[in-house]
């Protein structure tokens, strides 16, 4: 158990079971995937989910194909709450934990560490395994353990991606594209002038100056 996970109950004394499970799972981010792994150093997908809910006081079956029958069914991702289990594939061969904001935490596959990514499917269904879904109170970068290239709400990576998205959206207006075109055109013209000086008169002038 990482420091982030072991301190979840201390940092979030009022958190419900789903929020505690989310906190635990985020505390494992960056740890390696191992098929059959149940922690505390390596996990597979269902091992991560089982360990997270065990920490929160909820007993779950060991494999994703059985976990998919636990709790109650949720109709769609739009109805999901933090801590809900999302099964991306129809054969229930993989399980992830929803964080809110269209993001999830998962132990994906061999060679890829536990990570936070966007929801990419729910063909196998969505299950809520506690009476009360999570509130999202524990979904923050301070609860993340290890290192990850993925983003979570409040992280610097998320902020950078949001900034890039904002710039992209800003350039969709015609006036912004016009300004952008003027800037690019000016840079191209300057480059042509420099190349002309280096390849022709500029070279001759350099010879005169250096004697």
Single out the catalytic residue among 45, 68, 69, 92: 45
Whole-angstrom CA distances from 55 to 8, 13, 77, 101 are: 10, 14, 25, 24
Please say if 94 is a catalytic residue.
Answer: yes
Q: Are 66 and 124 in contact (CB under 8 A)?
A: no
% helix, strand, coil for the chain, step of 5:
45, 15, 45
Answer yes or no: 42 catalytic.
no
Among 23, 42, 68, 106, the one annotated catalytic: 106
C-alpha 168: how far from chain center: 20
- Known catalytic membership, residue 106: yes
Cα–Cα dist 5/26, whole Å: 8
Q: Which residues pair with 94 in a beta bridge?
A: none
Return the H-helix or E-strand segment holding 157: helix 156-170
* Residue 176 tokens, joined: 């912004």
Taking CA 187 as the corner, what is the angle to CA 181 and CA 188, rounded to the nearest 5 degrees? Answer: 90
Backbone φ, ψ for residue 100 (5° rounding): 100, 165
Please state, in angstroms and rounded to a whole number, the distance separating the CA atoms of residues 29 and 94. 17
Catalytic residues: 45, 94, 106
């Amino acid at each position: 158990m990482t420091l982030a996970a072991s301190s979840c109950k201390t940092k979030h004394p009022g958190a419900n079971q789903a929020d505690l499970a989310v906190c635990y799972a985020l505390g494992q981010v960056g740890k390696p995937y191992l098929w059959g792994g149940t922690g505390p150093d390596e996990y597979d997908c269902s091992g991560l989910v089982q360990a997270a809910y065990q920490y929160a006081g909820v007993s779950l079956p060991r494999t994703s194909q059985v976990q998919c029958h636990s709790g109650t069914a949720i109709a769609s991702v739009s109805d999901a709450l933090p801590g809900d289990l999302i099964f991306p594939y129809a054969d229930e061969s993989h399980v992830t934990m929803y964080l809110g904001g269209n993001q999830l935490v998962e132990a994906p596959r061999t060679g890829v560490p536990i990570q936070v990514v966007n929801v990419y499917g729910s063909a196998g269904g969505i299950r809520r395994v506690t009476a009360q879904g999570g509130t999202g109170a524990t979904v923050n970068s301070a609860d993340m353990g290890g290192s990850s290239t993925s983003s979570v709400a409040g992280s610097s990576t998320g902020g950078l991606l949001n900034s890039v998205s904002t710039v992209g959206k800003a350039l969709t207006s015609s006036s912004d594209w016009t300004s952008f075109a003027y800037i690019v055109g000016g840079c191209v013209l300057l480059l042509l002038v420099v190349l002309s000086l280096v390849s022709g008169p500029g070279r001759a002038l350099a010879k005169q100056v250096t004697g």
